[in-house]
Amino acid sequence: MTNAGKSFLFATTAIFALGNSGAVLADGDALADLQRQILLLQSQLDEIKAASDCCDHKVKFKAFPEISSGDWSAKVRGRLMLDWATVDGDAAVLPGEDDYIENAIEARRARLGIEGKMPMKTAYKLDVFYNAADSDITIEDAYLQWKTPAGKLTAGQHKPPVSLEKQTDSIHTTFMERAAFTDAFGMKRRVGVSINPSGDNWSVKAGVFGANLEKEYSNEGYMLALRGTYAPVNEKDRVIHVGASVNHEDLEDSSGKFKAYQRPQVHQEQRFLNTWDVTADSVLNYGAEGAVVFGPFSAQAEYSKLELDTPSGSDPELEGYYVDLSWFLTGESRKYKASKGAFGRVTPKAMVGDGGWGAWQVALRYDHLDLTDVNPENMGPLTPGTGGEQDAIIAGVNWYLNKYVKLMANYSHVDIKDSEQNYEITGVTDNEINAFQLRAQVDW
């Protein structure tokens, strides 16, 4: 209660008491009784104030209410991405095979979860993903995190430290689908422990991981992963970012299999590149990355190479890379988070609904994936083609209505070569696929 409120209460009490004491106010006993009542009331008010101060309840609203009390906090989080796509290919699909997507809508991501803080500098996060196509629910992030003198310590299912594109959250990526190698090389969340020291313009993250929670192995092996980033320029609208990562995975499971496969930059479409299962003892993946931001202009590029250690000694090598450019027509800049070595949320200068047009961004990407060093093992030697190769050009337009709502449009042209998987679908190893996609996205 405020001091003004206390004064009002005391004054009201005194007037009430005076009004009832009347002529006997001069009597000493009446005055003493009034004084005792005031002191008792003061004591009760102090107790109420102490009880309210101990709880410190707060509600903060950022797209969704966040409730906090002392060292505890909780916020419901989620995202919904609705995609529409139409796809056409030069090579006709064989009878009995799935045809190209013509007019299809999917919930690309429908996630709901909770995050917050607990005592002892502990944070927690749990996200679940609903797959409408398969009508099942899987766990995305599920971890505890502590702030330590050595950096943030994370335990549970989370992203291994690989790739700038992968570390940037899906709600903040420039294109509807990430670079082809991130999916083909299996850069998924895994259960593990990692440490993440960082500074004003650098970050390091290292960890040891097992498999994703949805996988069931009697012996799932392990992955060792390390990524480091440095930003010699890290200002509000000017950034220069460089980084590198490496991870080594032992395939301890009795199957000892590795598979790389990929879609033509459309999640609803089937995969036209595929190595099928490759018998391997271990996998080594390393990459380099760079990005610059100068006001509304941004450029980003990555290279990734994956080497397989096989019992046969053939040891295939797979690679992927991309280069993209983007420009905010309305003058915004991509936001960089040095502690993660990744990009974050864009805030329009003038949001829709507040008299503005939001933020408008145009972008262009060249994306390459090469799996040709693998001859799929489950096919006969006379079947033409390899794991395949694809080159993609993607043009995009993004409209940020506000901080949490975004509309996207992508057009892609994908050139597929020497693919045994494409041969299985169309009867030829080469193909050219064109696609147009739209996305409506909201997160909180």
As a whole number of Å, the CA-based R_g of the chain is 30
User: How far apart, in Å, are the Cα atoms of 232 and each of 57, 241, 335, 382?
Assistant: 41, 7, 15, 53
Q: Where are the alpha helices (DSSP H) in 136-265?
A: 164-167, 180-184
Question: What pLDDT is attached to residue 43?
Answer: 75
Higher confidence at residue 136 or residue 274? 274
Which one of 23-27, 51-55, 65-69, 140-144 scores highest in mean pLDDT? 140-144
**Mean pLDDT over all residues of the chain?**
89
Instruction: State residue 61's pLDDT score.
Output: 74
Question: Which token pair is 109?
Answer: 């991501």
- Whether 64 shows a pLDDT value over 90: the answer reads no
Residue 183 predicted with pLDDT over 90:
yes
- Percent of the chain at pLDDT > 90 equals 75
- Whole-angstrom Cα distance, residue 155 to residue 397? 37
The pLDDT assigned to 253 comes to 60
Q: Is the pLDDT of residue 414 over 70?
A: yes
Q: How confident is the model at residue 40 (pLDDT cuts 50, 70, 90)?
A: confident
Contact 304, 320 (CB under 8 A): yes
pLDDT for 377 equals 65
**Cα-to-chain-centroid distance, residue 343:** 10
Question: What pLDDT score does 70 carry?
Answer: 86
pLDDT at residue 381, as a whole number = 62
Q: Which fold has domain 56-443?
A: Porin (2.40.160)
Point out the least confidently predicted range of 12-21, 103-112, 220-229, 305-314: 12-21
CA distance 305 to 426: 29
Calpha distance 444→441 (Å, rounded): 11
Helix axes 28-55, 3-21, angle to 10 degrees: 160
DSSP state of 271: P
pLDDT one-digit tens code per residue, 356-392: 999 999 999 999 999 999 988 655 566 899 999 999 9
CA angle 218, 223, 224 (to 5 degrees): 150
Exposed/middle/buried for 138, CB within 10 Å: 0-12, 13-18, 19+? middle
Give residue 160's identity as a one-letter amino acid code: P
- Each residue's pLDDT tens digit, 315-361: 999 999 999 999 999 999 999 999 999 999 999 999 998 889 999 99
Indicate if the pLDDT at residue 14 is higher than 60: no
pLDDT of residue 34: 67
Mean of pLDDT values over 191-216: 95
Q: Taking residues 82-91, what's their average pLDDT?
A: 98
Share of the chain above pLDDT 70, in %: 87
Buried-exposed string 418-444: b where 16+ CB fall within 10 A, e elsewhere: bbbbbbbbbebbbbebebebebebbbe
Inform me whether the pLDDT recorded for 279 exceeds 80. yes
287-306 pLDDT, tens digit per residue, is 999 999 999 999 999 999 99
